[in-house]
Structure 1
Amino acid sequence: MAKVSNRFWFMLHGWVSLPIWLLFCFICLTGTIAVLSHEITWLTNPASRALNPDNLAAKPVSELMTIVEQAHPTAAVTGAMTFEPYLVNAIMLTDVDKPYAIAYVNQYTGEIQQINEGMTFIGFMRSLHSWLLFPWHGSYSVGYYLVCSMALFMLASLVTGLIVYKRFWRSFFAPKLRINQGKKTLLADLHKLSGVWSIWFIAIMSLTGLWYLVQAIFWHADIDIEPHAPLIAVEQLPFSPKGDTSSPIASVSFTQALTLAQTRFPDFQPSYVMKPEHHRDMYHLSGGGDYIFYDQNVYNLSINPWTGEVASASSPDTMTAMQTIMHLADPLHYGTLGGIWTKMIWFIFGLILSGMSITGFMMWGLRHVRAFKAQESDDLGAQILGEAR
C-alpha cells in the first residue's frame, strides 16, 4: 500500500509540473529578467544613468517637471516616476507630435538626457512576464489569468514534491550530487537539490502568485481594493467671467501639493505622481517611506488643486488587510526588499526555478522514452514468438 501511495504522489507531481513546463519556464525566465530590468537598462542605455560626479543633491520632482515644460513649451507634462538613485527620473508628457513620451531627466544635473516615445525595456519585461502581452478587454486579460494560474501548479508541485522526496531536509546538511552515475541520476539529484534549497522561494512565488490571481478576479468583477478619489464638486470650480475662454489655473501648484504630502507624511518620497487630467480631477501622489517590506506606493494621497484639501490619504496605519497584502506582494515577488542585494538573490533563485522546470521535463522525457522503447521491444518479441509458433 505504501508503494502504491508513493507512486500516486510521484505521478501527480509529474502531471501537475511537466505538461506545462514550457509556459512555466518562459514565465520564470521573463520574471527573472524583470527582477533586474532596472539594472539591465542602466547597463545598456547610457541615457538612463543618473550620473552625479559633483555629488549634487537631487532636485525635487516638481523642478524636473518645470525643466521639461520650459524645454518643450507646447508639451503638457502629465506626471513623473522615480526609480533607484542611479536611474534618471521619468517625466511623462504629451506634445503635438508625441501622443505619449517619457523624458529621461537627470535629477542631479537637471539635464534632459533622452525623449523616449516607445515602450521601455522595464515596461516591456514587466508586461511580458505579467500578462504575456495578451490584450486587455476592459478590466481583464486572458494572459494575466494564465500567468497567475501557474501559482496553483507551482504550489501543487511543491507539496507533491515534498511528499515524494522523503526526508528532504537531509539535502540541507548533506547535499548529494552524483555526476558519474549517468544522466538520469544526475538530473534527479539536480532537481531534488534545487527544489529543497528553493522551498522558501517557491512558497513566496506561489503565495504572491495566488494573490495576483485574487486581484485579477477583483478587477474583473469591478471590485476596488483601494477606493478611487472622489471627483471635485462642481461648486468648488472657479467660473471664468463671461466671454473669457481661457482655462482657469489651479490655485494650488504641484510644488505645493508635494509639500502638503510631505507635511502629512514626513518620510514621503514620491515614486509616481500625476497631475489632474481635467478640472474635476485631483493631484494623485504615490510614494514610499521608511517601510522595508512595503512597495514604493505605500503612501497615496489625492489633493484638491483648487482648495489644497487632502481629499483622501492612505498609509500602512490606515490600510485594510487586503490593501496591506497588495502593497506587500510586489516587494516579495520581485525581491526589491533590500535593493540590489535582494534582487540578485531573487535573480539567482529565479534561474534555479527555471532550471528545475527543464530538468523535470528531461527526467519525464527520459522515463517515457525508456518506457516506450521497452514496450516496443516487448511488442516485437511477442510478434516474433507468435510467428515462430
Structure 2
Amino acid sequence: MQWPSKKQWLAWHTFIGVLSGMMLFIICWSGTFATVSHELDWLTNPAWRSDASSISHQQLVDAYRQVQNVMPEVEIRQIETANSAGYAISVMIKPPHKAPEYVLVDPQTMSINGSYSALTIARFFRDFHMVLFNPLGIGKYLVCVFALLLLTSIVTGLLFYKRWWQKFWALPTGNSARAKWSSWHRWLGVWSLWFSLLIGVTGSWYLFEQSRFNFFDGLFSYTDSVQGAERPLPQLTANNTSISPAQLADAISMAEQAIPELTIHQISLNRGGYLFIAGQTSALLVRHRANKVYIDPTTMQLSYHQTADELSPYWRWSNMADPLHFGSFGGLYSKLIWFVFGLALSVMAFSGTWMYVKRLAAKASSSRVISLRFAVYLSWLCLAAALVIAGMHIMALGKGPDGWHWPPMALGSALFLLGWSGITIIGCVVGGRVLLSSSQ
C-alpha cells in the first residue's frame, strides 16, 4: 500500500476544513469566552466583587447564617466560592414558587450584595459550548464529534506541511489576499499546535466519556451518593437543607480533620441526602469534586472522604479533563492564555474554510461545494436552535407565580450576553454568506 502523497494529505485537510470549519468556529468561539466567563461575571456585575483577599471556612458558615437570617423562607441548596480572590460567596437558594437563584454575600462585611437568577455569564457559555443548550438531547455528541475532526485536521495538516517545526519564526507573508490568509493560517497553526492538540484530545475524551455513560456502564464518578458511581454510597432520605449554622460548622470541622489540607470551594446541603463538601488540595490539575467529603446530617458522622491522590489513573484523568480543557488550573493567567489561543483557533477555523473555498471555486469541485453548503446550513441551524432553546431556558428561570418575566440579572451581564449573541449571529450569517458566494 502506497503512502499518501503531500497532495492527497492536503486534499483531505481541505475537505475536513470545508466540512467542519463553520461549526468548529462556533464551538471554539463560544469556548474561548467560556474560559474567562467567571471573570466576565465579575466585570459586568458589581455584586460579584469583594475586597476580601481570601475566604476562610468560618466565613462560609457566616454567609450561610446571614442568608438564613435575612431570607428564612428560602431553601438553601449550595454554597460556592471562586478559585481566585476578590469574589463574593455565592449561595444558591430556592425561593417558594420560583426558579433557583444566587445570593451573593460579601465575605468581608457579610452584607448581601444582591440576588440573581441562575443565568450567569459562566452558566450561559458553559451550556452553549459544551452541549449547545442540549437541543434534542444530542448537543454534547454534536460538539464532541468536532473534536475528532479537529484532531484529524491537525494530523493531515502536519503531514502535508513539510518541516513545520522550522516555521515558528517565519513571519506571515503573501502577495494576494488568499496567500496572506494561507500564510497566517499556517503560522497560527504552528504556534497553536499544542493548544489544538489539547483541545482535540480532551474534547474527544468527553465524547468517549459520554458514550460510555449512555451506552455501556452509566458511570460518571468513582464514588458518589447519586446514581452513576462505580462505588455508590447508600442514599439517605434526610431533608438536611435547613441545618443550623452550628451543624454546618461542625461538618466543616469534620471535613478539615478528614482532609487537613482541603480548601473548600463547594458545599451542597443535600446530595443524595448527604452534606457534601468539595474543594482543592495540593493535588494538581483536578476539579473540586476530586477531593470531597460526605457527612450524614442526621448522625453528623463522616460517611466517606476522598482525595485526588487516591483515585485510579482512569478517574484521575477524568477529573483532570475540565481544568485542562478550560485552562482554569492556573487562575487568571492560564485562563488568559487559553483565551488568546482560543481566539487563534477560531480564526483558523474560519480562515481555513475560506481559503479552501476559494481553491474549490477555482477547481469547480461541485461535490465539495455541496459539502460546504451542507456545513454552512448545518451551522446556521445549530446556532439558531441553540439560541432559541437558550431563550426558553432564560424565560423558565424568570417564571414566577404571576407569570413569565426576564430573570433577575445584572444589567451589565444581560447587555454583554445580548451583545455577544448579536455579534455571533451576525458574524456567522455574514461569514456563511461569504463562503457560499465564494464557492460559486
More deviation, 205-214/154-163: 205-214
**Are residues 1:203 and 2:206 paired?**
no
Deviation at 1:276, TM superposition (A): 2.6
Corresponding residue for 2:26? 26
- Contact 2:150-2:196 at 8 Å conserved across structures: yes
- 116 and 286 in structure 1: CA distance in 2 versus 1, 3 angstrom threshold: same
Q: 1:232 to 1:37 in 2, by over 3 A?
A: closer
Query: What is the match of residue 292 of structure 1?
Result: 284
Distance in 1 between residues matched to 2:104 and 2:131, nearest whole Å: 26
Matches within 5 A, 1:48-59: 48-52=48-52, 58=56, 59=58
TM-score, normalization by structure 2? 0.75
Q: Gaps (5+ residues) in structure 2?
A: 226-232, 366-440
Q: Which amino acid in structure 2 is aligned with residue 165 of structure 1?
A: Y
Give CA-to-partner distance per residue, 1:107-154, whole Å, 9 cap, x none.
221111111124111101111000011247xxxx30011111111101
Residues in 1 aligned to 2:16 and 2:103: alpha-carbon distance in whole angstroms: 46
Q: 2:18, 2:357 within 8 Å by CA — same for their partners in 1?
A: no
Q: CA deviation at 1:51?
A: 2.8
**What is the aligned counterpart of 1:213 among 207, 231, 255?**
207
Alignment of 1:311-322 (within 5 A): 311-322=303-314
> Hey, what does 2:316 align to over in structure 1?
324
Describe how 1:336-355 pairs up with structure 2 within 5 A: 336-355=328-347
TM-score between the two structures when normalised by the length of structure 1: 0.84
Matched residue SS, 1:103 = strand
Instruction: Report the AA paired with residue 176 of structure 1.
Output: L
**CA–CA distance in structure 2, aligned partners of residues 99 and 199 of structure 1:** 43
The answer on whether the counterparts of 1:273 and 1:285 sit within 8 Å (CA) in structure 2 is: yes
Q: After the TM superposition, which segments of 4 or more aligned residues of structure 1 sit over 4 Å from their partners?
A: 1-4, 55-59, 247-252
1:224, 1:317 → 2: CA distance? Answer: 18
Match of 1:190 in 2: 184
Task: Give the Å deviation of 1:40.
Answer: 1.1
- Name the structure 2 match of 1:113: 113
Gaps of 5+ in 1: 239-246, 374-389
The answer to whether residue 351 in structure 2 is matched with residue 359 in structure 1 is: yes
1:56–1:334: structure 2 CA closer, same or farther, 3 Å change rule? closer
Which letter maps to 2:155?
V
Between 1:112-121 and 1:63-72, the stretch displaced more is 112-121
Deviations 1:13-65 (A, max 9, x none): 1112221211110100100001111111111111111234xx78655212211
Q: Which residue does the alignment assign to 1:176? A: 171
Deviation at 1:177, TM superposition (A): 1.3
Partner of 2:140: 144
Hey, what's the Cα distance between the residues in 2 that align with 1:215 and 1:86? Answer: 34
Larger Rg belongs to? 1
Matched-pair contact (CA < 8 Å) for 2:61–2:245: no
Query: Distance in 2 between the 1:20 and 1:293 partners?
Result: 30
What letter is aligned with 2:50?
A
Q: Which amino acid is the alignment partner of residue 13 of structure 1?
A: H
C-alpha contact (below 8 Å) 1:254/1:275 kept by paired residues = no
Match of 2:263 in 1: 269
Deviation at residue 226 of structure 1 after TM alignment: 2.2
Give the length in aligned residue pairs.
353
SS of residue in 2 equivalent to 1:267 = coil
Verify the 8 A CA contact 1:48 1:88 in the aligned structure 2: yes
Quote the RMSD (CA, aligned, Å).
2.6
Q: 5 Å matches for 1:222-301?
A: 222-229=218-225, 230-231=233-234, 253-276=247-270, 281-301=273-293
Of Structure 1 and Structure 2, the greater helix share is in: 2
